[in-house]
């Protein structure tokens, strides 16, 4: 019967999707509770096998129990919500106050993002980490784009040296994040469709890297507003308990932000492009769900 109890606890652990410290605490408490109930049933005259079966039957399915425990422990504190929203608010402030014009401010912001992301990563990947982690990957992507504009004789170095490293780094972060919880992977990449939308709305693709700063300055307040929406979304996400509400929140406010971009983009963003961006937003949920089965499916416990 010990094997049956271990399978039950493994199934609960698999479906919990909490951080390491919280998961360990929850499993220890659940194991103690099960031991107490089994001993109680045995003192009432049941055999060990009957006591274990009775206890597990009263607890219900491992998946349902894990969902109930998740909803009881998944709500972050207001401090965690603030920490999760800070990178979005930081970039909102930079565009609202036109600090994006100063290279020094951009370097300070990126350094702060990188240091915070590394610290959070090594401290057990708390829930507030993932918005920071998403911004910390932006320099990797931007560096890859800039390498494409190297002289023709040097561009092959980017292909041979940089892109394998970048792909390895992105895949490593992706796999580890999905193992933690695929919803945090969606939260981490949530700004991507928004940033691509503004990139297309500004018409930077035709002028990059020598684009007009004047046009970017005209859109700066609205770009700041979109980052503000992202910050409110991240904070609300951390405070919610139910997983389905978190998905609805990201889809709803993500669509609202894309609508703001489309309204101010004018002819630079057609309906077809907007539809592609919305599909990209949906893929932030569909893709990690499919990858979750591959990343975590191999170690799924037997029911």
The pLDDT tens digits of the residues spanning 69-79 come to: 888 888 889 99
Percent share of the chain, pLDDT over 70: 85
62 within 8 A of 12, measured Cβ to Cβ? yes
Question: In whole angstroms, what is the distance from residue 261 CA to residue 236 CA?
Answer: 22
pLDDT in tens, 78-134: 999 999 999 999 999 998 888 887 778 888 888 899 899 988 888 878 889 999 998
Query: What pLDDT was estimated at residue 93?
Result: 92
Minimal CA–CA distance to 196: which of 269, 136, 247, 285?
269
112 backbone dihedrals φ, ψ, rounded to 5°: -60, -40
pLDDT in tens, 213-254: 677 788 888 899 999 999 999 999 999 988 899 999 999 999
Sequence-separated (6 or more) residues with CB below 8 Å from residue 181 = 17
- Whether the model pTM is above 0.95: no
- Burial level of 196, CB count in 10 A (0-12/13-18/19+)? middle
pLDDT in tens, 289-303: 888 777 766 555 544
Minimal CA–CA distance to 126: which of 206, 21, 11?
21
Question: In whole angstroms, what is the distance from residue 90 CA to residue 88 CA?
Answer: 5
Residue 155 has pLDDT above 50, yes or no: yes
Confidence of residue 151 (pLDDT cuts 50, 70, 90): low
Residue whose entry in the numeric block shows the structure tokens 């049933």: 41
Minimal CA–CA distance to 224: which of 268, 267, 189, 194?
194
Residue whose entry in the numeric block shows the structure tokens 């408490």: 29
Give the E-state strand segments of the chain in sequence order: none
pLDDT in tens, 20-56: 777 888 888 998 988 888 888 888 888 888 888 888 8
Residue 8: DSSP 8-state? H
């Amino acid at each position: 019967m010990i094997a049956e109890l271990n399978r039950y606890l493994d199934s609960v652990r698999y479906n919990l999707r909490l951080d390491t410290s919280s998961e360990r605490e929850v499993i220890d408490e659940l194991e103690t509770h099960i031991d107490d109930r089994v001993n109680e049933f045995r003192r009432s005259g049941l055999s060990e096998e009957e006591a274990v079966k009775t206890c597990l039957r009263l607890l219900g399915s491992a998946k349902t129990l894990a969902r109930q425990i998740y909803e009881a422990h998944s709500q972050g504190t207001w401090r965690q919500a603030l920490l999760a929203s800070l990178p979005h608010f930081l970039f909102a402030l930079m565009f609202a106050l036109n600090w994006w014009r100063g290279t020094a401010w951009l370097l300070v912001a990126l350094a702060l993002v990188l240091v915070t992301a590394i610290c959070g990563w090594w401290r057990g990947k708390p829930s507030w980490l993932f918005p920071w982690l998403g911004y910390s990957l932006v320099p990797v992507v931007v560096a890859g784009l800039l390498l494409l504009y190297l002289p023709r004789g040097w561009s092959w170095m980017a292909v041979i040296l940089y892109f394998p490293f970048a792909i390895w780094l992105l895949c490593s972060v992706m796999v580890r994040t999905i193992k933690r919880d695929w919803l945090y992977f969606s939260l981490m990449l949530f700004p991507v469709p928004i940033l691509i939308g503004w990139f297309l709305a500004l018409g930077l693709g035709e002028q990059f890297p020598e684009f007009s700063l004047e046009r970017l300055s005209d859109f700066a307040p609205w770009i700041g507003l979109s980052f503000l929406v992202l910050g409110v979304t991240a904070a609300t996400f951390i405070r919610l308990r139910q997983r389905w509400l978190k998905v609805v929140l990201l889809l709803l406010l993500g669509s609202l932000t894309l609508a703001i971009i489309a309204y101010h983009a004018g002819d630079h963003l057609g309906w077809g492009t907007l539809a592609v961006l919305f599909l990209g937003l949906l893929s932030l949920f569909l893709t990690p769900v499919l990858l979750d089965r591959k990343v975590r499916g191999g170690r799924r416990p037997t029911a």
